[in-house]
Structure 1
Amino acid sequence: MGATTLTLDRQEDEFFGQSSVHSLLREVPHPDRRSRRSTAPPRNWDRSSATSLLAAEFALPPRQVADKFLDLYFDNVHIFYPWTHSTWFKKRYESLWTPGGYSGAETGQTGDIGLGGDQCPETTFFCALNAMFALGCELSDLPEKESASAMFSSRMRGLLQLDVLDKGDLSHVQALLLAGDYAHSSEHPIRCYNTVGLACRIAVGLGLHTDKHADQRTAMENEVRRRVWYGCLHLEMAVCMTLGRPPVLQVTEGVCVPAAVDDEFICPDNTSCRQPEGIVSQNLFVVENIRLAKILGKILSSIYWPSSSSDFSALVRLDGLLEDFKGSLVSDLRWWDVDKTKHQGARGHILRRQTNVLHARFLHLRVLLYRPSFSSFCAAARRPRQRRGAGSGLDEAGIDASTLQDVFQAQCATTCVQVAHELSASLRAAWEVEATGAWWFRFFYLMTCGGIIILAECAQAGGSTHFNQQQLDATWENTTVLLRDIGRENARARGYLDHLVLLKDQARSAHFSMRNSVVPSRASSPRSPVRSVGESRDGPAAQATDGQTEAVDFMASLFHDNWDWSLDGGMPTYGGLGFGDEFIFPLPGGLA
């Protein structure tokens, strides 16, 4: 590795840092590279044999089905993650249905735009296309969509060429991002984590993390590169947040944010691109979402890594960043704007969906910001209950805040529950008007809300009076209603809902059992169990109470640890309560 030698005529798009030997050799004077790069002949693709192109990976579904899946992808995924230039990608897609098939180099395009461009390998294009089909299938109302999406996913994985480990190009990064995005909806967290990680590695190797040599590229090439780079950053932060792992990529300001310009107005050979006046770009969302991704990175580095922290100054600073984001949000995506007639038609519906998704992500970041303090508060609330259960005689006032730190922690916990309520309410409001993002992102947020409610009830069992019970009940209702709706077409969502209901029932049972064991009733009740002569405290009733308490404490400990799991196992295994790793994904993002 250290002895690697490189020819001097490599493309400038490959990134080699100052410490590399290549950087040293580049200081040696040599002929101008720009002319050599601009006159490079088009790449000759290896269509190794007709047999290879007849493989299942290159098969297309019937035209009507293929068009439907692709439309679902662009209508539901591309509006949030425009990692490709849709106009050029669709041109390549249309060529598949012609006698000539996948077309080679075309005139009128310069530079590398990855998927859809004339430098995109055919195998990579079909890999990405199968990923889009799989995503579109997941978003469809097809009765057998799980098996169909699994088929497209299998084809996609079969086309992920190992030669990306040698170098890779822009289209490989785009294909890996699409594969990682599909993994959001699957039960394979490690596959998703590694896929996104590989995309990030190749992106850095291609120099996407810097705008160096941007003046030598067309506006279209620069825009696609910037979209792809920030796509890597966004998915990296989202995956690492969900799995409790430290992000490999760091938030930097070395790359310009993509322009809020729609694809049809980004043309080849132009040195700049501009959105026509009077037409609101659907890529406004991308710009604002990048700002949130950067704040997420700062929350992870300041609050969760290297260890969980509830530092007052850090919380205030990061909360201020979120408020600054809200205050400077572009007017077309302000969720508090009550003017529902501002945007009409199909473009207006897209903007409403993007607004709702941005609102949910903003609220989730606030939940994430205050969750360590919330978890610590709930852990402190459980300890007095455990001591009372042991016969210590402590009263419920033992958990009341007595220091400035306690007061601050209690306020953070209250804020966390309040924001979780707002998050569940915003998701339900978006669902009621059919203006949501993909179901797997809502799924993650709802599981977060459900876990917070259960943990809050654990604190209530410990004697806490900081949480509004009506608010807890409303959040729980929103969560269960939406999970039930998702569960109509997704078995994992149904399984999660069943387990959440079970855990919540156990939390309440533990609360009442503990209260009855600590506070004697003033009068005997015909329903009160009567202990037989000689029956010990360790009888079945006591064992049931202990089991309930252990289950509640187990659930609470999961959230108290902030899902900070070892790198060996990824997300936790809920073996004791029936959960498995296959239940812990999908994740957000974002994530839409």
Structure 2
Amino acid sequence: MIQHKVSGATPLDIQSLNQHPQRRCLPASGNTNITHKQFDYVLPPRRRADTLISVYWKYVHVLYPYLDKIQVQEDYEKLWKGDDGTIEDERSYMCLLNTIFALSSQLDESTPVEERERFAHTYYTRARNLLDIVEGGSVRSVQSFLLLGQYFQSTNEPHPCWMFVGLGIRTAQSLGLHLPETSERAADIRTRELLRRVWHGCILMDRVVCMTYGRPCMIGPKAAVTVPLPLPIEEEELMRGPAQERPAQLQRSCVAEFYVHSLKLYAILHDVLFNFYSVNFQQTRPLDADKYFGSLSEGQSSVFEIEHRLFKWENSISDHLKVASKPQADELGSQLYRQAVILHQRQLHVRLLLLRPVLSSFITTEFYNGDRSVPLASELSHRTFLQCAIVCVSVALKAIDTIYQGRGHNAGDIGSLAAWWYNVLYLYTSATVLIAARLSSAIMVDVSEELILDGWRKAMEVLDWYNPFGASIKRLTTTLRLLFDAVPQQYSRFKGNSRGFQPDTLSATRNLDQGSPSMPPLRPPEPTNIVAMPVAETANTLPQDDTNTFSSECFLDFDTVFDPNDLSWLMTIPLDG
């Protein structure tokens, strides 16, 4: 009524805003006329544009259904027809479209790997020039921000990735998407489900970037469950009609179903980060069984409780989204198989993050206990820690093998896996766990060195395979090789001098108090004098196909800074930032 009185908008105009939420702007968001100004834009050739948007639907939308595919495709066709005024808020649509092109350019298998970043940056620049950050707010801008966050995941630029995801969350909140009544009052089911998918996309990306960059979540657990999850229904089935009327016998959507399972998994991830990586996590003893295996206060969960939730989540997955299913030749079958593999990858990584602090604590304690027998009173706790550490190593090996087996024929191929930047994250995290496993004689009794070295070889082979995607990957592989060579040597040297030495408890556990699973500020010294040595000279240390090793001079600086209490190299990822 107020809008009608102030601006003269008719009830029909107001209704159209509800029917097209991706175009809706806030009445109080500033100069809403900015989007109606004339502007120039550039489009790629039609064949190229068709390829890029097809890549988006095939590889991105099936995992992150933030967009109304039908509406976006309709507007895309109108754009090429050139009819004046057929696309409302054409500027914001062109921004979204160029963002789609930028993200798709990083995944397009028909483009040489070395050319992808250059093409993607071109489209990002166009999208950035069309972006409206301050003066307007719409669901479409939220979608653009989320996709730009995903784009910057592929560029190893944490700051813009973090900022764009934050902009998406703040814009969504300003639109009221975090309130259940906003979607409940939508004019139809299709609009309601879109609003819910977009808001839960904000929650998902918030947790993903927090996991990757080791920073606190913006959306708390209570706010995350306020808005109902999207329905697992095909978009085509969400026909126009009253939002309160649920159509009967709707076809289940593999896209929405996968999305809902991912959202539930990342709710568990949030609890892992909060309980074992936040600044609230304080440990008083190297092996604090109460902290890991018993709830000390309301709102905190133990390893066993979260592990049980993971078990229940895994059992709730439909059979066609489990990796036990075989890949099918048809398009739907291959899509389902890829979704199943990615769900498997994600749950392995969450489980790895859950068990990694236990592994870290166990290794630190074993270092100082040496060969001393475990007191009977603490034997059960010790064995529990040991088994958790062994399972952590087993999960790391599975994560590596999943990527090794599922990759495509060429480095630029997606295969049946997540995007390459996620695979690099999973591989690096898993490889550091394997390095840590070699430090524990108790773990090596249960997990053979042959298995560890085989997993290491596979991880390094795939990481080397991904090297053309960016210099940051080369730095990660260099870091891993340095750690693989240096850390066991340093631990062996320090262990001989550790008898009778009482560890500094604060130092021994500070790696667990950094507030994150992967704090980017960690930046190991860049190694020098990297030499290629014959295979025979490294056969006793590295698998035979891993010919890069480090000369003894590389370790001189490492000697002066090495601290056996500090396992931050296990708990962090040396990202740029």
Q: Determine if the TM-score, normalized by the shorter chain, exceeds 0.5.
A: yes
Instruction: Confirm or deny that 1:169 pairs with 2:138.
Output: yes
Closer, same or farther: CA 35–479 of 1 in aligned 2, 3 Å: same
Closer, same or farther: CA 551–361 of 1 in aligned 2, 3 Å: farther
Q: Per-residue CA shift, 1:483-542, capped at 9, x if unaligned?
A: 1222244433233223312321223444666689999xxxxxxxxxxxxxxxxxxxxx99
Closer, same or farther: CA 39–283 of 1 in aligned 2, 3 Å: closer
For the 8 Å contact 2:234–2:252, the answer to whether it is kept is no
Q: CA RMSD in A?
A: 3.5
Closer, same or farther: CA 215–581 of 1 in aligned 2, 3 Å: closer
Closer, same or farther: CA 498–417 of 1 in aligned 2, 3 Å: same
Superposition deviation, residue 66 in structure 1: 1.3
Instruction: Confirm or deny that 1:362 pairs with 2:338.
Output: no
Give the structure 2 partner of residue 406 of structure 1. 382
Give the structure 1 partner of residue 426 of structure 2. 445
Give the structure 2 partner of residue 207 of structure 1. 176
Give the structure 2 partner of residue 160 of structure 1. 131
Give the distance between the partners of 1:203 and 1:352, measured in 2 at CA: 32
Superposition deviation, residue 379 in structure 1: 2.3
Q: Per-residue CA shift, 1:123-166, capped at 9, x if unaligned?
A: 221221111111111112423221111121222222221335xx
Give the structure 1 partner of residue 98 of structure 2. 130
Superposition deviation, residue 267 in structure 1: 2.7
Q: Secondary structure at the match of 2:66?
A: coil
TM-score of the superposed pair, with normalisation by structure 2: 0.75
1:422-461 matches, cutoff 5 A? 422-431=398-407, 434-459=415-440
Structure 1 range deviating more: 155-164 or 187-196: 155-164
Which of residues 217, 229, 238 is equivalent to 1:257? 229
Give the distance between the partners of 2:319 and 2:248, measured in 1 at CA: 16
Give the structure 2 partner of residue 197 of structure 1. 166
Q: Secondary structure at the match of 1:163?
A: coil
Give the structure 2 partner of residue 237 of structure 1. 207
Q: Secondary structure at the match of 1:103?
A: coil
Superposition deviation, residue 78 in structure 1: 0.7
Which of residues 116, 120, 131 is equivalent to 1:145? 116
1:139 maps to a residue whose letter is L
Give the structure 1 partner of residue 450 of structure 2. 470
Structure 2 gaps of 5+ residues are 25-31, 284-290, 295-301, 410-414, 500-550
1:30-109 matches, cutoff 5 A? 37-38=14-15, 46=34, 50=38, 53-54=39-40, 58-100=41-83, 103-104=86-87
Closer, same or farther: CA 277–170 of 1 in aligned 2, 3 Å: closer
TM-score of the superposed pair, with normalisation by structure 1: 0.73
Superposition deviation, residue 253 in structure 1: 2.4
Instruction: Confirm or deny that 1:494 pairs with 2:474.
Output: yes
Closer, same or farther: CA 8–101 of 1 in aligned 2, 3 Å: closer
For the 8 Å contact 2:420–2:466, the answer to whether it is kept is yes
For the 8 Å contact 2:189–2:238, the answer to whether it is kept is yes
Q: Per-residue CA shift, 1:180-207, capped at 9, x if unaligned?
A: 1111111221221121112112212222
Closer, same or farther: CA 417–302 of 1 in aligned 2, 3 Å: same
Instruction: Confirm or deny that 1:558 pairs with 2:563.
Output: no
Give the structure 2 partner of residue 178 of structure 1. 147
Closer, same or farther: CA 197–279 of 1 in aligned 2, 3 Å: closer
2:47 maps to a residue whose letter is Q
Give the distance between the partners of 1:418 and 1:274, measured in 2 at CA: 45
Superposition deviation, residue 545 in structure 1: 6.6
Give the distance between the partners of 2:553 and 2:338, measured in 1 at CA: 50
For the 8 Å contact 1:410–1:466, the answer to whether it is kept is no
Q: Secondary structure at the match of 2:101?
A: helix
Instruction: Confirm or deny that 1:379 pairs with 2:379.
Output: no
Closer, same or farther: CA 555–172 of 1 in aligned 2, 3 Å: farther
Give the distance between the partners of 1:374 and 1:177, measured in 2 at CA: 34
Closer, same or farther: CA 102–92 of 1 in aligned 2, 3 Å: farther
Q: Secondary structure at the match of 1:283?
A: helix
1:519-538 matches, cutoff 5 A? none
Give the distance between the partners of 1:269 and 1:502, measured in 2 at CA: 61
| Identical columns (%) | 25
Closer, same or farther: CA 67–40 of 1 in aligned 2, 3 Å: closer
Closer, same or farther: CA 39–180 of 1 in aligned 2, 3 Å: closer
Closer, same or farther: CA 488–46 of 1 in aligned 2, 3 Å: closer
For the 8 Å contact 2:494–2:564, the answer to whether it is kept is no
Give the distance between the partners of 2:16 and 2:229, measured in 1 at CA: 29
Superposition deviation, residue 366 in structure 1: 0.6
Q: Per-residue CA shift, 1:403-444, capped at 9, x if unaligned?
A: 243333222222211111111122222226921121111111
For the 8 Å contact 1:96–1:102, the answer to whether it is kept is no
1:289 maps to a residue whose letter is S
Give the structure 2 partner of residue 581 of structure 1. 576
Closer, same or farther: CA 46–487 of 1 in aligned 2, 3 Å: same
For the 8 Å contact 1:127–1:156, the answer to whether it is kept is yes
Which of residues 287, 290, 309 is equivalent to 1:321? 309
Give the distance between the partners of 1:399 and 1:442, measured in 2 at CA: 40
Q: Per-residue CA shift, 1:225-252, capped at 9, x if unaligned?
A: 0100110000101111222222120124
2:263 maps to a residue whose letter is I
Give the distance between the partners of 2:132 and 2:375, measured in 1 at CA: 58
Instruction: Confirm or deny that 1:307 pairs with 2:281.
Output: yes
2:260 maps to a residue whose letter is V
Closer, same or farther: CA 40–378 of 1 in aligned 2, 3 Å: closer
